Amino acid sequence: MNETPIIALVADDEEAPREQLVAALREAWPGLRIETAANGVDAWDRYLEVEPDLCLLDIRMPGLSGIEVARRIGGRTPVVFVSAFGDHALAAFDAGAVDYVLKPVERERLGQALARLRQRLSPRAAPAGADRAEEARAVAGDGDAAALQALIERLAAGFKRATPPLTVLQAAVGREVRMIRVDEVIYFESDARYTRVVTASGDALIRTPLKELLAQLDEREFWQVHRSVIVNHRHIASAVRVDEGHMHLTLRGRDERLPVSRHFQPMFKGQ
């Protein structure tokens, strides 16, 4: 029986360094399946789509920085930061659950980082039948995952966001262009062509893809709970586990049931 390949996600907004890193990875780790993204927004969307086993993220990227992507990953997957800059407390990574490689990438340094990752991803980690969250804890250990998240929070605090959070949306409703205050939105839901904006006064459609909208919202207020759903947490009434692996949210004063995908279920684990 063929083993499931290890998947790596490489994200860098510059094509040449991205391709150089991919080539170095293929040489250092034959059989590694490599997925790529050209910016932080696509990196997070790709993460949700392919569920990689490890991520190599440039720090400075448009849309979402590598630090913001790692913050959303939340310790579920080992992360290596790849950066041309030494100004993000990189020395602190040596003692944490995350690694770093400076550009231009030296093969020896990359090899050291990959050796650490191979150790964390060894088959000894997860018991049979473990779900993805359990596998992540087994790979890194609860202490390492907590150290990773604490480190990323410190980095995020010192990393200035490129643009302030979005406060007003413009949505076409018939002949009218409606100005919708973002803090009045209950949730956003995407389909193939549009994003539905749901408020207490009605729905509207915008053309901005959900993955791009996510980078403009205040993540303290708006929580992504599914690849196609972002909800204002103030409107969540409860999280209901339907069965093993399935969960939905109920909303205050509304009948909808919003799906919560497996990636985001640990947000609602109770006390």
Domain with 181 in it: what CATH number? 2.40.50.1020
Asked if residue 162 is part of any domain, the answer here is no
pLDDT along the chain (271 residues), means of 10: 82 95 94 96 95 92 88 86 68 55 88 86 49 44 56 62 82 87 96 90 92 91 96 97 91 96 87 55
The residue behind tokens 């959070």 is 165
The DSSP code sequence of 108-136 is HHHHHHHHHHHHHTSTTSSPTT--HHHHH
Residues 143 and 220 in one domain: no
Question: Buried b / exposed e across 104-114, counting CB within 10 Å, b at 16+?
Answer: ebeeeebeebb
Residues 52 and 175 in one domain: no
pLDDT reported for residue 174: 81
Is the Cβ–Cβ distance between 236 and 85 less than 8 Å? no
Asked if residue 98 is part of any domain, the answer here is yes
The single-letter code of the amino acid at 42 is D
Task: Indicate the SS3 state at residue 156.
Answer: helix
Residue at a domain's end among 157, 182, 215: 157
Which uninterrupted H or E stretch holds 226?
strand 222-226
The DSSP code sequence of 169-223 is EEEEETTEEEEEEGGGEEEEEE-SS-EEEEETTEEEEE-S-HHHHHTTS-TTTEE
Residues 142 and 39 in one domain: yes
Q: What tokens does 198 get?
A: 């749901």
pLDDT reported for residue 124: 38
pLDDT reported for residue 104: 87
Residues 18 and 127 in one domain: yes
Is the Cβ–Cβ distance between 63 and 40 less than 8 Å? yes
Asked if residue 2 is part of any domain, the answer here is no
Asked if residue 109 is part of any domain, the answer here is yes
CATH code, domain with 43: 3.40.50.2300
Q: Structurally, how many domains does the chain consist of?
A: 2
Residues 58 and 131 in one domain: yes
pLDDT reported for residue 121: 81
pLDDT reported for residue 122: 73
Asked if residue 113 is part of any domain, the answer here is yes
Q: Could you count the other beta carbons within 10 Å of the beta carbon of residue 95?
A: 8
pLDDT reported for residue 219: 87
Is the Cβ–Cβ distance between 140 and 97 less than 8 Å? yes
- Domain residues for the domain of 137 are 7-157
Task: Indicate the SS3 state at residue 69.
Answer: helix
Residues 74 and 151 in one domain: yes
Q: What is the pTM of this model?
A: 0.78
Residues 196 and 153 in one domain: no
The single-letter code of the amino acid at 60 is R
